[in-house]
Amino acid sequence: MKIIKLLTGICIFFLSYTSNSFSLIEVDITRGNLNPLPIAVSPLSQNNKTKKIFQNKLNLDDLGLEISKVIENNLKQSGLFNPLSKDAFLQKPDIAHLKPRFEDWSLIKAQALITGKVLIENDKLKVEFRLWDVLAAREMLALSFTTVPNNWRRVGHIITDKVYERLTGEKGYFDTRIIYVSEEGPKTQRVKKLAIMDQDGFNIKYLTLGNELVLTPRFNPTNQMVTYLSYFRNLPRVYLLDIETGIQEVVGDFPGMTFAPRFSPDGKKIIMSFAKDGNSDIYTMDIENRIVERITNHPSIDTSPSYSPNGKHITFNSDRSGYQQIYVMKSDGSNVKRISFGNGIYGTPVWSPRGDLIAFTKLHKGKFYIGVMRTDGKGERLLTENFYQEAPSWAPNGRVIIFYRETKTNKEGEGFSAKLWSIDLTGYNERLVETETDASDPSWSSLLSN
Amino acid sequence: MNLSKILKNIFLVILFGLVVAACATKKTTTTAKVDSQIQGDVYIGSDTVEELAKGVPDRVFFATNESILTTKSRDTLRKQAAWLRENTNVNVVIEGHADERGTREYNLALGERRANAAKDYLMTYGISADRISVISYGKERPVDPGSNPLSWSKNRRSVTVKAN
């Protein structure tokens, strides 16, 4: 019982923090500690026979231990949990999974415990896991599922999602992927490739070779399609790529540059800018029947469109007032309203998957900020300040934002780098997202399972 | 009301004087150097500038967020137009660029706007639209990797390149 109390405590804290800080238009540079919940993740148990099979199949010494490490890392990165060192665990994994000796776990200050078991059944990996409330001495959650052995990292992510959901009351974001642009080479001649990885930085795959410039990949929220900008044959156009098959095609037949693509929430349309004769307006194309519709018609630059999750509204970036500002309109292009009125200029509006907030980039007095505001433009809150950063993308639960940050070069023009960072909606828990190359333009996928 | 306005102005003048004095004592050399290369936020130097032909510069520069052609830019483009009229077999691509101090997508649109400003001016001097194509690189191809106002001013440009 007590653990539930503590955890609702976290939720309530979240909510009250959020509403309090709505009134403040200032940068929260405090990287405070939210008293992360002490949690023990026991290695998933397995018998010797299973262990040998996995050793042969996956070349992993101890699959159960590896899965528990995936879970621990996820929980730690979330900033809400403090996974305890396994050195202190007194109970063996197999016995703990059957019935934990709660006094032992309580002794090392664990408030929650995850136990599990992996086995092989008809060449499939079968996983059972349980979440325990240590102080109340009872089981909170028990689930089992089956998958192919190569998916073992995803098993860790799915377990984390279930645990996160049970303990916070909100959907997780761990069984997800991030598509981004990998960058290499000198600043004046960057080589850019599309890359995709698991949310925790593992399983990086490069989807293009770097022969042409590629920018701004975005996931379809409903399937494994991606839309992005490619300079293939020196014609900057929006493309559609199926990650599973590798098939790609140009979107529409526009006599000029198309850019800034995103999918509609139902995944059926692509919304983007089309530039002609020095003017950029917003268009949509239906992927199925290829029908193109013009949404804005204004001599200013209209770009960076993003749908509300119910598909009824679009937020976008326009300089029709003289400078870049954020606007909201109905999805047919009517009822255009400017919503950003703070100091500075505003770009890259992205509607939260929860529907209540818009994340943005702001430039003010030579500094770049990632922030959020309500969809009517009120309650502006800046989460992070730096020399250069932009391109926020929401985790599917609307709790975390990923973006990229570039460094300032020295007098000789050296020292440039671009990296992915994530930050909680609260303004806490800012973290570097490790990638093997420099990286920019991240886009977070929907949950792959459930 | 008036008095406070006057006082405010005086205050500003004094403040301005102080700033200038501070600059004069500390940063004489660097400020003078930058000043001679940037005028009204637009680069006017010759670093990075190449020639399409003898006496025909290949690029023009812009102020932050702007696509307005300066007197000097119009002069350069008239030279390009004259050269293109003499060389009727040459087609060109105008590449529009932005500095790194703006969001990627907006800068793509801004680069396109700048390239078209140059294209439109060439057209008013008799160069047919089908000889000129435009491409925007946004902030993707800086010519100067520096993170300072002078480098940024060199990167806010449109460059005319022979296409054949």
DSSP string, B19-48: HHHHHHHH-HHHHHHHHHHEETTEE-S-TT
Q: In CATH, what number is assigned to the domain containing residue B70?
A: 3.30.1330.60
Shortest distance between the Cα of B111 and any Cα of chain A, in A, equals: 9
Q: Look at B108 and A259 and tell me if their CB atoms are within 8 Å.
A: yes
Give the model's pLDDT for residue B9: 52
Residue type, A157: H
Q: What is the pTM of this model?
A: 0.89
Q: Do A188 and B109 touch (CB under 8 A)?
A: no
- For residue B129, what is the nearest residue in chain A, using CA coordinates? A277
My answer on whether B31 and B45 are in the same domain is no
Give yes or no: residues B11 and B66 share one domain: no
Residues B74 and B101 in one domain: yes
Cα dihedral across residues A316, A216, A257, A362: positive or negative: positive
Tell me how far CA of residue A223 lies from CA of A260, A400, B123, in angstroms: 19, 21, 46
Determine the distance in angstroms separating the CA of A344 from the nearest CA of chain B, rounded to an integer: 12
Q: Does B68 touch chain A (CB under 8 A)?
A: no
Which positions ≥6 away from A3 have C-beta within 8 Å? Answer: A111, A112, A133, A134, A135, A136, A140
Whether B134 and B62 map to the same domain: the answer is yes
Cβ neighbours of A280 in B, within 8 Å: 109, 112-113
B30 and B99 inside one domain: no
- Would you state the pLDDT for residue A11? 32
Strand bridging mode A225-230 / A269-276: unpaired
User: How far apart are the CA of B146 and the nearest CA of chain A, in angstroms?
Assistant: 4
Which residue among A387, A409, A441 places its CB closest to the CB of B145?
A: A409
pLDDT score for A21: 30
Please tell me the total count of domains within chain B.
2
Task: Give the residue extent of every domain in chain A.
Answer: 2-168, 177-444
Element (H, E) at A167: helix A152-168
Print burial letters for B49-72: b (CB count within 10 Å at least 16), e (below 16): beebbeebbbbbbbbebbbebbee
Do both B27 and B100 map to the same domain? no
Range of the domain at B10: 1-36
Q: Is residue A321 less than 8 Å (CB to CB) from chain B? A: no
Residue in B29, B62, B105 to test binding to A, most A beta-carbons within 10 Å? B105
For tokens 């509607």, the residue is A351
Q: Classify strands B132-138 and B92-97 as parallel, antiparallel or unpaired.
A: parallel
Same-domain check for residues B98 and B154: yes
Task: Give the per-residue pLDDT at A30.
Answer: 36
For domain A177-444, give the CATH number. Answer: 2.120.10.30
Nearest to B113 among A189, A216, A278 (CB): A278
Q: What is the mean pLDDT of chain B?
A: 86
Residue A244 neighbours by CB distance under 10 Å: 9
Do B24 and B70 lie in a common domain? no
Residue B118: its H or E element:
helix B104-124
Cβ distance of B106 and A275 shorter than 8 Å = no
Residues of A in contact with B105 (CB under 8 A): 216, 259-260, 273, 303-304, 317, 347-348
Q: How would you write the pLDDT of chain A (450 residues) with one tens digit per residue?
A: 344 433 333 333 333 233 333 322 222 323 445 688 999 999 999 999 889 999 998 899 999 999 999 999 999 999 889 999 999 999 999 999 999 999 999 999 999 999 999 999 888 999 999 999 998 999 999 999 999 999 999 999 999 999 999 988 889 999 999 999 999 999 999 999 999 999 999 999 999 999 999 999 999 999 989 999 999 999 999 999 999 899 999 999 999 999 999 999 999 999 999 999 999 999 999 999 999 999 999 999 999 999 999 999 999 999 999 999 999 999 999 999 999 999 999 999 999 999 999 999 999 999 999 999 999 999 999 999 999 999 999 999 999 999 999 999 998 999 999 999 999 998 999 999 999 999 999 999 999 985
* Interface check B112 vs A, CB under 8 A: yes
Is the Cβ pair A278, B117 closer than 8 Å? yes
- The residue with tokens 């940024």 is B152
Report pLDDT digits (tens) over B11-51.
444 444 444 444 444 444 455 566 689 999 999 999 999 99
B109 reaches A (C-beta below 8 A): yes
The rounded distance, in Å, linking the Cα atoms of A83 and A113 is 10
Nearest to A348 among B103, B136, B151 (CB): B103
A2-168: in CATH 3.40.50.300? no
**A390 has a chain B CB within 8 A of its CB:** yes
What gap in Å lies between CA A420 and CA A406, rounded to an integer?
9
B143 contacts B157 by C-beta, under 8 angstroms: yes
Q: Three-state DSSP class for B11?
A: helix
Report the distance separating Cα A171 and Cα A154, nearest Å.
16
Q: Nearest CB to B142: which of A187, A256, A324?
A: A187
- B133 shares a domain with B59: yes
Whether B64 and B41 have beta carbons less than 8 Å apart is answered as yes
pLDDT digits (tens, 9 = 90+) for A136-192: 999 999 999 999 999 999 999 999 999 999 988 889 999 999 999 999 999 999 999
* B111 Cβ under 8 Å from any chain A Cβ: no
On whether the CB atoms of residues B103 and A344 are closer than 8 A, the answer is no
Structural contact between residues A378 and A398, judged by C-beta atoms closer than 8 angstroms = no
> Are B32 and B85 within one domain?
no
**Helix A2-21 and helix A152-168: axis angle, to 10°?**
80
Chain A residues whose CB is inside 8 A of the B116 CB are 277-278
Claim to verify: residue B55 and residue B9 sit in the same structural domain: no
Sign of the torsion formed by the C-alpha atoms of A243, A244, A249 and A251: negative
- In this prediction, residue A224 carries a pLDDT of 86
List all residues of chain A from 25 to 54 with a beta carbon under 8 Å from chain B. none
Are A376 and A22 in contact by the 8 Å Cβ rule? The answer is no
d(CA A167, CA A14): 13
The pair of structure tokens assigned to A404 is: 């990229």
The per-residue pLDDT for range A268-302, each reduced to its tens digit, is 999 999 999 999 999 999 999 999 999 999 999 99
Chain A: closest CA distance from residue B9 (Å) = 23
CA gap B7, A303 in Å, rounded: 44
Nearest to A134 by CA among A79, A85, A80, A96: A96
Q: What is the ipTM of this complex?
A: 0.90
Cα–Cα distance measured from residue A169 to residue A163, given in angstroms and rounded to the nearest whole number? 10
pLDDT on residue A6: 36
Cα A217 off chain centre by: 13
Beta strands in A185-288 (DSSP E): 191-198, 205-206, 214-219, 225-230, 237-242, 248-250, 258-263, 269-276, 279-286
Q: In B, which residues are within 8 Å of A390 by CB distance?
A: 103-104
Q: Which of B156, B135, B131 is nearest to B81 (CA)?
A: B131
Cα(A272)–Cα(A274) distance, integer angstroms: 7
Which of B108, B150, B155 to mutate against chain A (most A CBs within 10 Å)? B108
CA distance A145 to chain B (A): 43
Q: Which tokens is A329 given?
A: 């309109």
**B90 in the same domain as B134:** yes
Mean pLDDT of B139-155: 97
Contact list, A256 vs chain B (CB under 8 Å):
112
